[in-house]
Chain A
């Protein structure tokens, strides 16, 4: 480009980067970026997935129905909805699920992490790094790699099938525990597959560590759960690297949802400080010391540090979490003893309960208010993707300028990749808006 043209560009020729329908994300979203010269003038992650109003029709339903109904918000992470719903209602009813039932819930969640993360690593994200439109075409050149990914993903699904009954919308979770706790021999059948899975997860991490990562870092506020002993799944306080340390019951005092005109999903922000970052990157940065020594060593062996701030490296962090989930699942399966009871009896009372659990994509907040007969009077749900939307946009504002002279197609590809870093789940993000009717 000549100097003259440079000047002209810098002066303010407007161009736009549009992705009308983001591919390889869950749900329907679009990306709109306007550049004025070399400056970014606007970034909008537009979510046009139709809202489905779950919070509205949860009203009047029995508390026992909440895990089944809310799981239908998302087919990719139904266990997360079942876990947050069950824990929030148990908090309201004064139940505490412990022992083997607690371990089974952790195992079920490990299954979902393995399935969901492996789907994203191999089928949605890796094609960006290797230059393919999808994993199926990638499999033409790397058949063993894609087959390894599919087999690993399948083992996550097998855990969900054994513990939950099926992989999409499991049927076995209930308030107070499970309908039927699996028998010891049912879980034993998972040991061999999980041993293979742990090896495959390690190979996945090494494979992903060989990718080329665009240089990019920001000073994020990471938010995740933190538990006294464990890498967080179902329990813990909500913490951040800027001093946040609250219980789930205090969530709404610190976080607020904003409505923007171009999106069917709300933007959730911290009242005091604005945008924040949830999900694998946040969990890893805030809980590296809670990973088992085996997993910490594996991360270090591929050059990762306890703090990683480049969102393009989220594929590495997801790989570390898959390794952790396989290792943890194996530990639970090997030490499992069937519980005396499949569940604790729950008796209704008028009360309110809150819970936050770690969905694959980050913290998922549920609140329920129940009447004396156990009917839901009010429900509130804040999924991870609505929490990350603002951070995704903020990333693009900062990421684009150094790359602005790249050819349009290449720049567009990087921008899409920057969105996929967050594994956004758009079906989740639009579950809740209230309704305005257009007759037609």
Chain B
């Protein structure tokens, strides 16, 4: 008898769908992947739902409602391995900007029937609710890294995801440093690799889609940006975007926020 195929499940919480779309964007690999694994639960792609437990669950999105806080517990119970995909699931996503807002201001914002809406005060990553086996960051995630993570878990090894900065990717790509050569403010030195150093290749500074690298020196980078004439409020905003809930970026944004005065 053939060996049982491992079961893959894809779950969605508050998100834009872009990270699970990355799986469908693996046009060259998708059918081969489906030969190796059973896509047992992936509602964006299929009506067929196979019961759990699942060998690998990919979780997209952050927790923002009381119902979702319960649902993630059920997902964890039926998942042997649970991997977060993307900035929302890993760090709370751009919707974690609400975490900095005065909640009263939000509620006071005029709305036709606010009583119809139920939501939590904060947008939190999956790891704030359940144990997570691996976090794959990115806004959106990189397809190549996604395939590496799926392959690794199905073969019982750790994923080979380098934790160095975007700078290393620029060197590899042969892109001349946009900050040194052109004076363009760039988050590359503190940002986790994964995108392939896209923005500098398009003559643009990195804006941090992949979140903090392993040991980011945000204080030093802040000095460089200021010497390029960037005001503190811009530094606050750049750290408070897609990775606002990631600890190193949150701390950097708060440090620069204090400088504003």
Contacts and interface: CB of A to CB of B under 8 A. Distances in A.
Does B bind A? yes
Interface of A: 21-28, 48-54, 56-57, 61-62, 65, 68-69, 72-76, 78, 119, 123-124, 127, 133-137, 139, 143, 146-147, 150-151, 153-154, 157, 165-169, 171-172, 174, 178-180, 257-261, 264, 266, 342, 416, 425, 427, 433-440
Given A51-B119, A259-B113, A435-B98, A154 B27 contact: yes
B224 interface: no
Given A75-B140, A168-B25, A180 B121 contact: no
B237 A65 contact: yes
B241 to A, nearest CB: 7
Contacts of A135: 45
B152 interface: no
A144 to B, nearest CB: 11
Contacts of B67: 48
B34 interface: yes
Nearest to A174: B204
Given A50-B119, A168-B140, A169-B139, A73 B103 contact: no
B44 interface: yes
Nearest to A61: B237
Contact of A50 (B65, B202, B237): B65
Given A75-B19, A440-B120, A56 B107 contact: no
B176 interface: no
Q: Which of A123, A139, A437 has the most CB of B within 10 A?
A: A437
B218 to A, nearest CB: 19
A146 B234 CA distance: 47
Interface of B: 12-22, 24-25, 27-28, 30-31, 34, 39, 42-48, 64-69, 93-95, 97-98, 101, 103, 106-107, 109-121, 139-140, 195, 198-199, 201-204, 207, 209, 234, 237, 241-242
25 contacts: A21-B43, A24-B43, A25-B44, A50-B14, A57-B98, A57-B101, A76-B18, A136-B30, A139-B34, A150-B27, A157-B25, A168-B140, A169-B139, A172-B204, A174-B204, A179-B199, A179-B204, A258-B112, A259-B111, A435-B106, A437-B121, A438-B66, A438-B118, A439-B121, A440-B120
Given A69-B241, A75-B16, A75-B18, A123 B109 contact: no
A133 B48 contact: yes
A165 B199 contact: yes
Contact of B15 (A119, A143, A264, A427): A427
A50 B64 contact: yes
A131 to B, nearest CB: 11
A166 to B, nearest CB: 6
B204 A74 contact: no
Nearest to A22: B43
Contacts of A264: 117
Given A57-B98, A435-B119, A437-B107, A73 B47 contact: no
Nearest to A28: B12
A413 B34 CA distance: 25
B17 A27 contact: yes
A49 B155 CA distance: 34
A68 B237 CA distance: 13
A258 B15 CA distance: 23
Contacts of A50: 13-14, 64-65, 68, 119
Given A69-B94, A72-B16, A180-B202, A259 B112 contact: yes
Contact of A167 (B25, B34, B242): B25
B39 A154 contact: no
Contact of B114 (A56, A174, A434): A434
A72 B242 contact: yes
A258 to B, nearest CB: 7
Given A134-B39, A261-B116, 16 more contacts: A21-B43, A50-B68, A53-B106, A62-B234, A76-B21, A136-B45, A157-B25, A166-B198, A167-B25, A168-B19, A172-B202, A261-B113, A427-B17, A436-B115, A437-B120, A438-B120
A75 B15 CA distance: 9
Contacts of B237: 61-62, 65
